Each structure stands twice: as structure tokens, then as C-alpha cells.
Chains A and B, each alone.
Chain A
């Protein structure tokens, strides 16, 4: 330790100015300088301080099996190239030794490595390197990051201060650690941005007190804004769909007051112009000062919404096809239903005419006949109206439905058909049935389908009455409607596939009736199932939740409605 080493003059040596060197390296990290540059600077500082030596830092790859990078500004170029990519099995063994005995800092890592290949010691000598000593560089958590190797260039050199090595490995460790952390952070941010892009989900934070917001890049994209450092609440509101804005604002005001969870779907109107459907979820937290802050995510669900709509349309069309198919099967009965009152019309009109054309007609009877003709005409038009209501093409609606009433209408249409098939219908309708929410026609379609199936199942039955019971009742969750027949029953092998599309056990059937019925009931949040009776036959039942005060979550198919669904949850909480 003397002046010839000249380390006192170097920054490293200035009281082993860790603070100075650390700050300098820290500054370089802040500037985003690559790690090799930082380490080169460090090596240069050392080389300048320790005359006759040159230092190098070897960085390992992630698997710690190979040397990924060699930093050694003072190393002969040819030699440095040789070290890169070097396998470090032995080096690791040496480093492990060092780790287990922390006080033995100095290990012969490189020397041991060099013994692996024949040529390196020779090459080292050829490059003018006399000897090499090396120290492991550990991270703060004890992971092996690399190796500090110090080569002696001159035959005779003044020894350098051992603390210098300690300083060098410490600072290198911090530099590598920090760079790697920043790299990891950058990678994680890039990953997050990519994930947000892929899932069309943007994230945000919002302080209701000041309306201060931060948005992720993806959120700017979803709202069709150029990415910027700041975004104002007003800017955001300008993109909310005009039809949703009042409900959106109500929701926001509510959030401002009580910090409750936010979960709503609403629309955006972007300048493209395009309507986007988004799903917003946010969670409110309080900071140390008790200030409310929301952290949330907004997902662009436009594609999903549009395909759901397309699917709903298809389902609705299939349901219509299925209804029209049953209309075909009902032609005979419908003719019967209309013929009866028509006979009344024709006969009463004839009677009226006859009375009026004789001498001294009894006008009282003529009037009665005309009155009956009109009444029968109305009866015929009621049949037509029922038919039109059930079979015309229409979009789904969402209304309060009295299942009993809906059932009675279907029975009125089907009574002729059931009679023709020799089925004895026993309606058993509960007197105090709550209303359900749904599409009346679709529910009637299901009832019609179940009744027709039941009647068909009893076609060949001659040894017992063809009794068909239709029952409505209330259960815990809502209403249950069941149709019980005395027919052939369900074969075990058919049970699992009953509700599959195009699966049929009937010769004339397409196999869509039950499948469509099933999706209608599921669309109403209910369930359709079949059971074998204790005696002959089967019972098909469906349950539908009772109408609550909430607006329905979903209807089948999704009816036209305001996309913003927060209304009901707001109404409930007020």
C-alpha cells in the first residue's frame, strides 16, 4: 500500500468513496445507460487506481451456465472474446464454495475455469496476463450475478488494497441489481401493456375528490384519445354515449358519496364515429388521509356484445322456425277452431235473413240471430288473434307475464288438437302464482311444445286414459310449470340427449322443439327438466324466477334496452 498505486488520487480511493462512485453509477443508471457501460466505467476506475492490473466483470446468463457478457476495457481484445460464451460449470462450483464460506472472498474462479480448456492459459500468457484472481459478485438477495476477475499484467506489481475489491464487487452488485430490476420493471410494464392490448382492457385510477385520473395507454386507445400524460374527467365524459350519460353520471355521483364497488356496462361514442360497448369495474380504497381512490379496469366488449346479439338473433329465428313448424302440425286443429264460430256466423246470418224475408217477420229473433252472428265472428277473430300473436315474426320483449294466463291461451289454441289426439287435459293452475319476467310468446311456445310432445307421447296408448295434466305452482325461487303425460315415458338411453338440437325419437320431428325450449327457459334464468313418472309416462317441467324489483339481468334473446345496466343496482341501493 503506497503512493505508486496511486489509488489515493482515484475516486475509488478517496476514502474508498463509495458514496461518490455509487452516486455516479446511480446517475448513469438513471440516464438509462446500458449495464456494460456502467460496469466498464467501474472497471476503468479500478484499473486507473491499481496500476499493473486490469479488471473485468463477467456476467452470467439467466441459467448461470454460461458467461453472457465480459466487461473489461483493459483486457486484451483477443482474450476477452475467448471468455464470452465460456461454460462455467466449474466457476459455479467455485462460487458456491465462496458463498458457503463468505469470509473466503477470494477464490480462484477464473483460474479454475481456465484449466478447463488447454488453450486459455497459453492464450492468457500470450496476451500478457500473468495471473488471475477472481471474486464472486452476489446480489443483495444472495444470487450469483457474476464474477470480478483481476488480472496481473506485470511480473512484479504492487498489491492493491483488498478493500478495493470489496468496494468494486459491492458497487457492481448494486449496479447489476438495479439495472436488472429496472429491466424487469420495464419488461413487466411492456407485458402489462401487451396484455391490456390483447384483452382490450384499460386500467385507470380516479380520485373522486379532485377528479384526478391516470389512464393506461390502452384506455386512451379504447376511448379513442391520443395517449397523453393527463386526462380530465370532462374529456372522459365527452366520450360516454349521450343516451347513457345521465345514468353514468348518477353512478359516478353515487361512487363519490359512498365508495362502493363499481360494475356497469355502458356505451361510448367515439369520433370514428363508432359506438363501443364497455364493461367497467372499479374498487374504491382510502389512502392514509382517508381520501377515496378508485382503481379500475374498463374492457372493450364490443365484439362480444355484437356476437351475442347476432347469436340472439339466430336463436330468435330458430325459435320462430320451430313455432312455424308446430303451426304446420296444428293446421287441422286450427281449422277446427275457426270452423266452429264460422258455422255460427253463417248459420245465424242465414237465420236472420230467412226471418226478414218472410211476411210479418219476428224482428226480435232476427236481432238475436244477428247478435249471435256478430259474437261468433268475434270468436273467430280471437282465434286468429291468438294465432297471430303466437306465430308472427317479432322481436323478443321483456314484460311481466302471468304464466296461468299464458297457459290458458295455449290451451285454447290446442284444445281441438288435444281432443283429436284423444288426450284428456286436466289443467291444475295455482291460484296465487306470482308474475315472471320474460317474453310471453316464447314462454307460450315452450308450453305449446311440452303439451304437443305430451299428446304425441300418448298416441299409441289404449290401455289407460290419455290423461295430460298441466300444473302451475310456486316454489322458493319462482314459478314452476309442469306437463305430465301417461305416454310411453323416457327411455334411459334418450334421457341424456333429450334437449340436444336435432335429437329426436319421433319419426316426424326435427328435434329442435325441446332444444329451443331449453334455450328459451335458460334465457329466462330458469331450468327445464324431465322426469319419469312413478306410473307410466313422463313429466316435463320448467322453473322461472319470480319477477323481482330489479330490472332483469338478461332476457332471451337480449331485448333492445339501454346498455347501461347500472340503473337497477342504483335503484336498489337508494
Chain B
């Protein structure tokens, strides 16, 4: 059985891949973490993900590139971008392309939870 509210996380940083799922599971979400965009694309989670928490800068395919990759597909996955670098231009660009939020690391748990709820409502 796959939970309806599957949240996928793509981030190359192990701290992030460990801490965020631990937090989100406390709120009853099912979370799967991936270290790279192509790992996510190749997994079965792709079709069940209701919310994607996506790092901007990663080796290989970047977060925004993954967003572009997903855009033509039928199933629109709401995306929450997370980034350690503040970039207003990129932020506006990504939001304009449909991203739910753009959170600057390190962010508060409440900010993330709010964004996740918003995303799930959207999906």
C-alpha cells in the first residue's frame, strides 16, 4: 500500500536527507529521500509523489532542471524548492513556473510544514 500523501525529498546533502524525513514522519507523512534527481526519476515514487521537496544546487541534474523535466508530464507534482543560496531572481523564476515555495536553508520546521500542507492541498 502506498500512502496517498507520499512526500519525496531530493537533496545531495545527507544531513538534509536524514533530518527532514524524521521531522515529517512525526506528522504522519510518508517520506522517501533521494540523493540525486535521476535516482528519483528512475524510482517508482515518481508516480505516487504528492509533494516534492527539491534542492536547487546538486551535482548532475539540478533542482530547476528536474522541474523542467517534470513539467511536460501529465501528473503535476507540487514542488517546494529548498536552497542554501539566496537568489531572488531564481526564486521568482521558479515560483512563476509553478513552484509552491522557495525555502532558504536553514528554515524553521513550521515554514516547511506550512509549505507541505499548501502543496498537498494543491495536489
Q: Are B108 and A350 in contact (CB under 8 A)?
A: yes
CA of A368 to CA of B19 in the docked complex: distance in angstroms?
10
Min C-beta distance of A459 to chain B, whole Å: 16
* Most central of B59, B105, B107 by chain A CB within 10 Å: B105
CA distance A335 to B85 in the complex (A): 7
B70 CB within 8 Å of chain A: no
A280 to B18, CA, bound (A): 66
**Contact A419/B59 with A343-B107, A346-B106, A351-B22 known, Cβ cut-off 8 Å:** yes
How far apart are the CA atoms of A354 and B85 in the complex, in Å? 28
**What are 14 contact pairs spanning A and B, CB under 8 A?**
A336-B84, A340-B84, A341-B15, A342-B105, A342-B106, A343-B82, A347-B19, A351-B109, A354-B26, A365-B22, A372-B19, A376-B19, A416-B57, A420-B57
Contact A420 B85 (CB under 8 A): yes
**How far, in angstroms, from A424 to B109 measured CA to CA in the complex?**
33
Whether A355 sits at the interface, judged by CB under 8 Å, is yes
Q: How far is the CA of A376 from the CA of B85 in the complex (A)?
A: 19
B20 at the interface (CB under 8 A from A): yes
Known: A336-B85, A348-B22. A379 touches B57 (CB 8 A): no
Interface residues of B in 97-120 (CB under 8 A from A): 105-109, 112
Report which of A343, A351, A375, A420 forms a contact with B16, defined as CB distance below 8 A.
A343
Set of chain A residues within 8 Å of B109, measured between Cβ atoms: 346-347, 350-351, 354
Q: Does A249 contact B (CB under 8 A)?
A: no
Question: At the interface, yes or no: B38 with Cβ under 8 Å from chain A?
Answer: no
Give A376 to B106 CA distance when docked, in angstroms: 12
Partner of B85, one of A332, A351, A369: A332
Shortest Cβ distance from B84 into chain A, in angstroms? Answer: 4
In the assembled complex, B13 has its CB within 8 A of some CB on chain A: yes
Contacting residues, chain A, for B16 (C-beta < 8 A): 340, 343-344
Q: Which residues of A contact B58 (CB under 8 A)?
A: 419
A462 and B16 alpha carbons, distance in the complex (Å): 30
Given contacts A340-B15, A355-B26, A419-B58, is CB(A347)–CB(B20) below 8 Å?
yes
Tally of chain B residues near chain A (CB < 8 A): 21
Q: Which residues of A contact B85 (CB under 8 A)?
A: 332, 335-336, 420
Q: What 14 new A-B contacts, CB under 8 Å, besides A340-B16, A340-B105, A346-B106?
A: A341-B15, A343-B105, A347-B19, A350-B109, A351-B26, A354-B26, A354-B109, A365-B22, A372-B18, A372-B19, A376-B15, A416-B84, A420-B85, A424-B59
In the complex, which of the residues B26, B59, B84 contacts A339, with contact meaning CB atoms closer than 8 Å?
B84
Considering the complex of A and B, which 3 residue pairs feature the smallest CB-CB distances, nearest first? A344-B15, A339-B84, A350-B109
User: Given the complex, which residues of A lie within 8 Å of B22, measured CB to CB?
Assistant: 347-348, 351, 365, 368-369, 372
Which of B's residues lie within 8 Å of A, judged by CB?
13, 15-16, 18-20, 22-23, 26, 57-59, 82, 84-85, 105-109, 112
Are A419 and B57 in touch, CB under 8 angstroms? yes
Instruction: For A420, list chain B residues within 8 Å (CB).
Output: 57, 85
* Residues of chain B lying within 8 A (CB to CB) of residue A332: 85
Q: State whether A336 and B57 are in contact (beta carbons under 8 Å apart), knowing that A343-B19, A350-B109 are contacts in the complex.
A: yes
A355-385 interface (Cβ within 8 A of B): 355, 365, 368-369, 372-373, 375-376, 379
CA distance in complex: A416, B57 (Å): 8
- When distances are taken between beta carbons in the complex, the residues of chain B under 8 Å from A341 are 15
Shortest Cβ distance from B104 into A: residue? A339
| Nearest chain B CB to A233 CB, angstrom units | 69
| Complex-state Cα separation, A364 to B105, whole angstroms | 27
Q: Which of A335, A342, A346, A424 has the most CB of B within 10 A?
A: A346
Contact A351 B15 (CB under 8 A): no
**Which secondary structure dominates where chain A touches chain B?**
helix
Residues on A with beta carbons closer than 8 Å to the beta carbon of B106: 339, 342-343, 345-347
Quote the shortest CB–CB distance from B73 to chain A (angstroms). Answer: 25
- Evaluate contact between A351 and B19: CB separation under 8 angstroms: yes
- Least CB distance, B114 to chain A, in whole angstroms: 13
Query: How near does chain B come to A534, taking the closest CB pair, in angstroms?
Result: 26
Whether B84 lies near A335 (C-beta < 8 A) is: yes
CB distance from B56 to the nearest CB of A (A): 10
Identity of the chain A residue whose Cβ is nearest the Cβ of B13 in the assembled complex:
A340
Are A343's CB and B108's CB within 8 A?
Answer: no
Within 509-537 of A, Cβ neighbours of B (below 8 Å) are at none
Q: Given A347-B23, A365-B22, is A379 in contact with B108 using a C-beta cutoff of 8 Å?
A: no
CB distance from A501 to the nearest CB of B (A): 33
Q: Which of A310-332 contact B (CB under 8 A)?
A: 332
B90 CB, nearest partner CB in chain A, Å: 12
Nearest neighbor of A375 in chain B, beta-carbon distance: B15
Nearest-neighbour CB distance to chain A for B20, whole angstroms, equals 6
Contacts of B19 on A, CB cut-off 8 Å? Answer: 343-344, 347-348, 351, 369, 372-373, 376
Per-position binary interface string of chain A over residues 408-432, scored 1 when its CB falls under 8 Å from any chain B CB and 0 otherwise:
0000000010011000100000000
Min C-beta distance of B55 to chain A, whole Å: 9
CB-nearest residue of chain B relative to A346?
B106
- Closest B residue, CB atoms, query A339: B84
What chain B residues lie within 8 Å of A350 (beta carbons)? 23, 108-109
**CA of A379 to CA of B112, assembled, Å:** 22
CA distance A343 to B15 in the complex (A): 8
Is B23 within 8 A of A351, CB to CB? yes
Contact of B108 among A346, A351, A372 (CB under 8 A): A346
Residues of A within 8 A of B18 (CB): 344, 348, 372
Report chain B residues within 8 Å CB of A346. Answer: 106-109
Chain B residues with CB below 8 A from A373, complex form: 19
Q: List chain B residues, Cβ under 8 A from A348.
A: 18-19, 22-23
The listed residue with most A CB atoms (<10 A of its CB), out of B13, B20, B85, B112, is B13
Q: Which residues in A have their C-beta under 8 angstroms from that of B57?
A: 336, 416, 419-420
How long is the Cα–Cα vector from A499 to B105 in the complex, in angstroms?
40
The smallest beta-carbon distance between A375 and chain B, in angstroms, is 8
Q: How far is the CA of A375 from the CA of B106 in the complex (A)?
A: 16
Q: Which residue of A lies closest to B110 (CB)?
A: A350
Tell me which residues across on chain A come within 8 A of B26, comparing CB atoms: 351, 354-355, 365
Shortest C-beta distance, B112 to chain A (Å), equals 8
In the complex, what residues of A have CB within 8 A of residue B105's CB?
339-340, 342-343
State the CA gap A407–B85 with chains docked (Å): 25
Complex Cα gap A457–B58 (Å) = 21
Which B residue's beta carbon lies closest to that of A373? B19
Q: Which residues of B contact A379 (CB under 8 A)?
A: 15
